[in-house]
Amino acid sequence: MSGRTGLFADPLEKSRIRLEWGGRKLELSAPFSVFSNTWIDRGTLLLLEHLPDGEPATFLDLGCGYGALGLPIAAAHPVSRGLLVDRDLLAVAYARRNVVLHKIRNVSVVGSLGYRGIHSVWGPFDWILSNFPARAGDRAFAHFLTEGVRSLSPGGEMRVVVIAPLAKGLEETARALGIPGETVARTEQHAVFSFRCGEVRPAQVADEVYDRDTVEVALAGLEKPLRLTRPTDLADEPYRLAESMPFLAECLLADLPRDARILVFRCGYGLLAALTVKRYPGATVVAVDRDLLGTEFTRRNCSDEGARLRVIEAVGLEEAVQAGPYDLVVGELLPPLGIAGTLIELEQVRSALKPGGTALVVGLKKEWREIVKAGQKPAAWERVQAGKSVAVFAASRGQGAC
């Protein structure tokens, strides 16, 4: 069973979720803007109720989130060694927090995009468990399965849960790869599958498994449209390419010093990073994001920029701020971050500026309104552009600022 309580002192913490499983009770801290952060997902609960038999010596929780799957298993099997992995560094931070909170000593939590960096240090595993992300795509599923069964110890088992509409496609993918599988449990919403070692046929090249499509974006100030590869499971909202990016591009400063320093926060797959390095040919750009899928694609989409682009993988802006100060900071609000977390981020953005520097942030108009309604209008930020759905706000630091 699971439950939830209210907000806590940490501005990024949304709830604490109670889980009773395996004769043990856990209270898991869950942050804003991660999957299933007010109650534990039904798919995760279904997988917990249909684990492989016995006790694993080693197990891997792939896509661990804040630890709702891997931590109760580790608590129930204290002699096992567990590895929890996620591409979202905020989820990783909270999984580690929950490890400390419950004094669980038989697990490690690492940030990784899929299996990258795992094989050289960890494994093989008796169990590999995962709640597959619904938007990952067929090629990513093939990669997860292929590398998963290759990472199993003799007699090991991979068990995954997917939403019901993806069940047939996952079965077909496994069959095409020659991976023996069976359905372990099924509800109207989810299905749990078991996979074991087999003669696995070659899957998609690892560097291409997350590719979704290529998009061309024409923006003000650029001679040519930007051409970028977009990943699966990191989608553009409909308003982003139609309003957010064009408005932000129109608001960019006409000129910056030749050796300007620019910070792009929440860089995603690299659109804003590509825009700024092309718009300001002499500038150095620092791009930061907590999503390792986003930073991977930012590097790919800006691979021809060499030393002019530095990509930082971090939860907050502290490391990026320390690499400043900056002539220009640009970025996007993240609606699910919560008001307190957003206000802290906006203050960090402004503090990253040089005296005389400018910050431009785009976000949904309704999110800005929610901040104002809460009586928390951020000081020094003024609206400079607005459309049907989004608005661009700007802030600066005076020449005498310190």
The residues with which 380 forms a beta bridge, in sequence order, are none
**Backbone φ, ψ for residue 296 (5° rounding):** -60, -45
Contacts of 24 (CB under 8 A, 6+ apart): 72, 75, 76
Q: How do residues 290-313 score in pLDDT, each as one tens digit?
A: 999 999 999 999 998 888 999 999
Is 75 in contact with 33 (CB distance < 8 Å)? no
The parent domain of residue 166 ranges over: 2-208
**242 shares a domain with 174:** no
**What per-residue confidence (pLDDT) applies to 4?**
39
**245 shares a domain with 157:** no
DSSP state of 397: -
**What per-residue confidence (pLDDT) applies to 8?**
44
The stretches in the chain having pLDDT less than 50 are 1-8, 400-402
- Evaluate whether residue 158 is within a structural domain: yes
Nearest to 309 by CA among 294, 330, 326, 288: 288
- Evaluate whether residue 94 is within a structural domain: yes
Is 27 in contact with 174 (CB distance < 8 Å)? no
**32 shares a domain with 115:** yes
**What per-residue confidence (pLDDT) applies to 202?**
59
Q: At which of 185, 208, 231 does a domain end?
A: 208
User: What count of other Cβ atoms lies within 10 Å of the Cβ of residue 20?
Assistant: 12
- Evaluate whether residue 118 is within a structural domain: yes
Nearest to 87 by CA among 107, 58, 117, 59: 117
Indicate which CATH number applies to the domain containing 89. Answer: 3.40.50.150
Is 145 in contact with 195 (CB distance < 8 Å)? yes
User: What count of other Cβ atoms lies within 10 Å of the Cβ of residue 72?
Assistant: 23
**168 shares a domain with 30:** yes
**57 shares a domain with 177:** yes
**198 shares a domain with 232:** no
**237 shares a domain with 195:** no
* Domains of the chain: total: 2
- Evaluate whether residue 272 is within a structural domain: yes
**204 shares a domain with 241:** no
**226 shares a domain with 244:** yes
- Evaluate whether residue 402 is within a structural domain: no
Beta strands in 269-381 (DSSP E): 284-289, 309-313, 326-332, 353-364
Q: What pTM value is reported for the model?
A: 0.93
**172 shares a domain with 33:** yes
**What per-residue confidence (pLDDT) applies to 138?**
84
**What per-residue confidence (pLDDT) applies to 206?**
57
Q: At which of 148, 174, 208 does a domain end?
A: 208
**What per-residue confidence (pLDDT) applies to 117?**
78
Q: How do residues 344-375 score in pLDDT, each as one tens digit?
A: 899 999 999 999 999 999 999 998 888 877 76
**231 shares a domain with 88:** no
- Evaluate whether residue 401 is within a structural domain: no
Q: At which of 208, 227, 245 does a domain end?
A: 208
SS (H, E, C) 156-183: EEEEEEEEHHHHHHHHHHHHHHCCCEEE
- Evaluate whether residue 263 is within a structural domain: yes
325 class by beta-carbon count within 10 Å (0-12 exposed, 13-18 middle, 19+ buried): middle
- Evaluate whether residue 130 is within a structural domain: yes
**What per-residue confidence (pLDDT) applies to 2?**
38
38 class by beta-carbon count within 10 Å (0-12 exposed, 13-18 middle, 19+ buried): exposed
**What per-residue confidence (pLDDT) applies to 367?**
87
**What per-residue confidence (pLDDT) applies to 287?**
98
**What per-residue confidence (pLDDT) applies to 402?**
34
**228 shares a domain with 119:** no
